[in-house]
Amino acid sequence: MESVAVFAGLHPNPGHHNSLIGPSRTPINLLPPSIDRNHFSPLPLKLQKLSHFTSYIDNSAINSGNTFRVASPLSNVTSELADIDWDNLGFGFMPTDYMYIMKCAQGENFSKGELQRFGNIELCPSAGILNYGQGLFEGLKAYRKHDGNILLFRPEENATRLMMGAERMCMPSPSVEQFVEAVKATVLANERWIPPPGKGSLYIRPLLMGSGAVLGLAPAPEYTFLIYVSPVGNYFKEGLAPINLVVETEMHRATPGGTGGVKTIGNYAAVLKAQSAAKAKGYSDVLYLDSFQKRYLEEVSSCNVFIVKGNLIVTPAIKGTILPGITRKSIIDVAINQGFQVEERQVSVDELLDADEVFCTGTAVVVSPVGSITHQGRRVTYGNDGVGLVSQQLYSALTSLQMGLSEDKMGWIVELK
């Protein structure tokens, strides 16, 4: 039996049954199914009339190995959502339908990206990513509007940051256009996994890795760019509620001259020990200090940090050991537009403990207010155990923009029809 898969925004490529025309009219190959059926199941589905898009996937397509063909999404049909509990989404991995893969050799350029069924990937035990940690990742989100349209937030910024990180890690990288096109295609192929408005978002995880085999310490001979997605709710179980941080004084996230300023995978493995110890004591996460003087703030395990004093908002300056967060950058612009004075500079622990409010920013958390900071046994609380006014104001402004609830005067939103 002929298998059919229908995706929002992806159209048949005339004369090529194994490829699609992506959002920017670029052909995208569609590989036959390759999936661990014990690890992934696309059923059951629940019909919900949300938009003019459809993302129906015929079960026979999963089991047959036949070539997929794509029908036009322009007809006025109902959209089907995955049958999951949208009201209780946490921030955890959930297998979806498709992932995007693109490869290139060292010294060459990426081309010919492919959408294939989500599943395990094959790597040589001697792959550069496994032996020497030659890898980067990004994180961004897609939101569903009430009219069914899908929104991306500043994907070109993630593309630019990936290119910067790739240069530091001696890897080729997709162009900004290739990155954004791949994100669009992956999101549209997994449209049924985007939560209903107000229920969460589709977290998008691009990976860039040295996938070629290498034994001696050297850049890998081949590289893979991969994107997968997962529906998510709040990163912290508290949601938009104050989190409790502890200042780490012995272990450090990054050092001058290292890779703290790029989103390489090793940066995150390095924080696991301190983070695990902090969570075992009841803290939400760890706030790291500079490795030289051990008195200036750097960042939380996976978030940038801000302090508020009156009308002044201060965040540590980007100086090579701090990741240039896209949410951080956006919050700075939003705060300035709302009349706050914003400074990027060194921030001491003493200044932190004397602040009116403290909050963290990141793709996963967006804005997360801090309820308390513990430093060398001293605990300081903020906001009378509630969400601070500035944190709430900035969170509401940014999320309203990301979800399409307010006018995008910044030109940050990419809307997928």
Secondary structure letter of residue 155 according to DSSP:
H
In a domain, 28, yes or no: no
Q: b/e per residue, 3-15, with b = 16+ CB within 10 A?
A: bebbbbbbbebee
User: Is there a single domain that holds both residue 197 and residue 280?
Assistant: no
User: Is there a single domain that holds both residue 195 and residue 323?
Assistant: no
185 vs 97: CA distance, rounded Å: 12
In a domain, 137, yes or no: yes
Q: How many domains does the chain have?
A: 2
Task: Determine contact, residues 56/2, Cβ cutoff 8 Å.
Answer: no
In a domain, 267, yes or no: yes
Residue 255's SS3 state is coil
In a domain, 56, yes or no: no
Local confidence pLDDT in tens for the 417 residues of the chain: 333 333 334 544 444 444 555 555 455 555 544 334 333 333 333 323 233 333 333 333 333 332 232 232 333 333 589 999 999 998 999 999 999 999 999 999 999 899 999 999 999 999 999 999 999 999 999 999 999 999 999 999 999 999 999 999 999 999 999 999 999 999 999 999 999 999 999 999 999 999 999 999 999 999 999 999 999 988 766 667 899 999 999 999 999 999 999 999 999 999 999 999 999 999 999 999 999 999 999 999 999 999 999 999 999 999 999 999 999 999 999 999 999 999 999 999 999 999 999 999 999 899 999 999 999 999 999 987 678 999 999 999 999 999 999 999 999 999 997
User: Is there a single domain that holds both residue 336 and residue 305?
Assistant: yes
> Which CATH number does the domain housing residue 305 bear?
3.20.10.10
User: Is there a single domain that holds both residue 217 and residue 261?
Assistant: no
In a domain, 86, yes or no: no
Residue with tokens 């059926």: 37
Residue at a domain's end among 182, 211, 231: 231
Strand partners for 227: 100, 206
In a domain, 32, yes or no: no
Find the domain containing 329 and state its range: 241-401
> Which CATH number does the domain housing residue 144 bear?
3.30.470.10
Backbone region of residue 10 per phi and psi (left: phi > 0; alpha: psi in -120 to 50; beta: other values): beta
Backbone region of residue 366 per phi and psi (left: phi > 0; alpha: psi in -120 to 50; beta: other values): left
pLDDT (tens digit, 9 = 90+) per residue, 8-55? 345 444 444 445 555 554 555 555 443 343 333 333 333 232 333 333
Of 105, 119, 95, residue with least CA distance to 32: 119
Q: What does 359-397 look like in DSSP terms, one character per residue?
A: EEEETTTEEEEEEEEEETTEEEE-GGGS--HHHHHHHHH
User: Is there a single domain that holds both residue 115 and residue 252?
Assistant: no
Residues annotated as catalytic are 263
User: Is there a single domain that holds both residue 367 and residue 246?
Assistant: yes
Q: Are strands 341-345 and 312-316 parallel, antiparallel or unpaired?
A: parallel
User: Is there a single domain that holds both residue 305 and residue 387?
Assistant: yes
Residue at a domain's end among 231, 262, 291: 231
Q: Are strands 222-232 and 357-362 parallel, antiparallel or unpaired?
A: unpaired
pLDDT (tens digit, 9 = 90+) per residue, 165-177? 999 999 999 999 9
Residue with tokens 């792959």: 127
User: Is there a single domain that holds both residue 201 and residue 220?
Assistant: yes
User: Is there a single domain that holds both residue 247 and residue 295?
Assistant: yes
pLDDT (tens digit, 9 = 90+) per residue, 322-379? 999 999 999 999 999 999 999 999 999 999 999 999 999 999 899 999 999 999 999 9
User: Is there a single domain that holds both residue 100 and residue 141?
Assistant: yes
User: Is there a single domain that holds both residue 278 and residue 302?
Assistant: yes
User: Is there a single domain that holds both residue 250 and residue 385?
Assistant: yes
Estimate the share of the chain in helix, then strand, then coil, as percent rounded to the nearest 5.
20, 30, 45
Residue at a domain's end among 204, 231, 258: 231
370 vs 284: CA distance, rounded Å: 10
Task: Determine contact, residues 199/87, Cβ cutoff 8 Å.
Answer: yes
In a domain, 340, yes or no: yes
